[in-house]
Amino acid sequence: MARSKRARGDGKRRTAARPRSRGRRIARIAGIVLLVPVVLILIVLAALHSGPGQRFVRDKVQSRLAERVNGTVTIGAIDFALFGGLALRKVAIRDEAGADVITLEGLEVEPDWSSLTGDSPTVDRLALVGLRLHLAQDADGKL
């Protein structure tokens, strides 16, 4: 059933809207398809740079390190920026008995971001701040 054209109060008739061209519709859909992933990536990056996001990353790093150590690993804080450096604060690695083995006030890493696309990533700068090693010798003379 066709819609009738109604007269406006000013005496002009409304004209029916022209359907959009196929090219415009395709361009609009392509724009949406490209824009949605970009917006989602920006949302994830913003979330990771928030306090809860950085705590989430800290917990993940802490648990991954703990898997590789005979003991426990604690990280007080983690700071990072997109294409910037990474800093771990108040790092402690304890042995199975709970004694400190390594403590750090801070570990700062600045990667060479362009090298990450190649086979051998490099680090521009690595700084250990307040490093303390606690070594003990067993009865056999081993560390």
pLDDT tens profile 72-125: 899 998 888 777 788 889 999 998 888 888 999 999 988 888 887 878 888 888
Cα angle 120, 83, 48 (rounded to 5 degrees) comes to 115
- Residue 54 and residue 75 in contact, taking contact as beta carbons nearer than 8 Å: no
Between 94 and 138, where is the model more confident? 94
User: Cα separations (Å) of 74 from 60, 84, 86, 126?
Assistant: 11, 23, 16, 20
Q: What is the pTM of this model?
A: 0.60
pLDDT tens profile 33-55: 899 989 998 888 888 778 888 88
